[in-house]
Each structure stands twice: as C-alpha cells, then as structure tokens.
A and B are shown apart, each in its own frame.
Chain A
Amino acid sequence: GNSVTQMEGPVTLSEEAFLTINCTYTATGYPSLFWYVQYPGEGLQLLLKATKADDKGSNKGFEATYRKETTSFHLEKGSVQVSDSAVYFCALGYSSASKIIFGSGTRLSIRP
C-alpha cells in the first residue's frame, strides 16, 4: 500500500545551519508529494508540493525535488532561522482520491 517514511526527530540545529529532512515513499501509480509545516499551537499549512517526477517545489527558502528513481522527497534549506522551528510532515496524495497520507512528522528546533 501507500506509505511515507520520514526522518525521526527531534532535530536541533544552530541558526544559519544547513537543513535536510529525509522523506521516502511507497506508492502505486504517480502520487503528488507535499511538505506541510505545523508551527507551535497551530494547524498544518502547506509548505511546498510537487506533482510529478523531477518537479522541484520551493517556498520560504525551502526546497524539495520529487525523485522517482529513489522514491524520495527530501526537504532542504540552506540557512535555517529560529522562526523555522516547527514540526514538518512529509505527505503523499494518491490518484483517484483527494486523500493524503502523512508521515509521522519531524520536530525541528533552531538555536539562536
């Protein structure tokens, strides 16, 4: 069946460090891939998405590339800020339905 596996947290980095959060997926067909972010005390919001192989999603300095050959969608940012502290969810949207499968989430903390 369809599933998403993402890097376990928590991840703690210093401000301006490089960030990678790994995400791999298992799916039949051609899913869409998402990264959602949850800031403290809030619901989830879409950070970026990619709908087909080799697409790159980007937003707020974050990037992720849809790699069909490695079934991956790793999240990266070149220089993190304290305001990036949040929980990040990798997710998969599969064809013939509007449902999304979420990973377990990775908590990111950035030290000043």
Chain B
Amino acid sequence: DVKVTQSSRYLVKRTGEKVFLECVQDMDHENMFWYRQDPGLGLRLIYFSYDVKMKEKGDIPEGYSVSREKKERFSLILESASTNQTSMYLCASSLEGRIAGETQYFGPGTRLLVL
C-alpha cells in the first residue's frame, strides 16, 4: 500500500513565523502535491512537483513556497505565516508523469492554526 505521511497532525503558530510542513511518500512516486482544504471551498492546489528540484505553481501559490530535494519528500513553507493561512493542509502523491486519470494518494493532513 502507498503510504503518505505528514510531519504533524496539528500545529499552532504565531503570525510572522516561518512554518515548515513536511510530506514523505514511500512508493517512489514522481508527482507530489500540496493542497489546502477549507469549508465550502473543497481542495485548492497550492504547488505541485513532477520531479526532484522541480516545482510548479498551482491555483493559490501566494504566500507559500516548496522544496523537493529528494524524490520522496516534498516540503511546504509558509515564509511568514498569517491568520488567513489557518487551514487543513493535505499532501498527495501520484505515480508518474503527466497522465490523466492518475490516482492521487493522500496523507492524513495537518491542521494549522495561525494566531
């Protein structure tokens, strides 16, 4: 079974702090994704990566950056956390390349509260 793990289930941070959310997948997947989930808005794509050291902006990249130094690890960085970044953050991975119909596998999520 594919396993996607996220470093924390819950985080509480203060406004202006730098926040790192880590995601690791154990199935040698090429693609990794970061989403945020908010009530009534579903999931919105922040950033994704097709390969090591490669990243592309999703629909809402403002205020975020990412890092993918190793194939299995994809980090989401909030350079200066703000209260409007309070949300559930979900990481996902999928097997290969740019193929329609690929199933994405999700981690359990990190619920971030910014005070």
Contact = CB atoms under 8 A, between A and B. Distances in A.
A102 B105 CA distance: 14
Interface of B: 4, 31, 33, 35, 40-43, 45, 48, 50, 58, 90, 92, 94, 97-109
Given A93-B102, A99-B48, A102-B43, A43 B107 contact: yes
Interface of A: 30-32, 34, 36, 41-46, 49, 51, 89, 93-100, 102-105
B53 to A, nearest CB: 18
A49 B101 CA distance: 8
A33 to B, nearest CB: 9
Contacts of A98: 31, 48, 50, 94, 97-100, 102, 104
Nearest to A52: B101
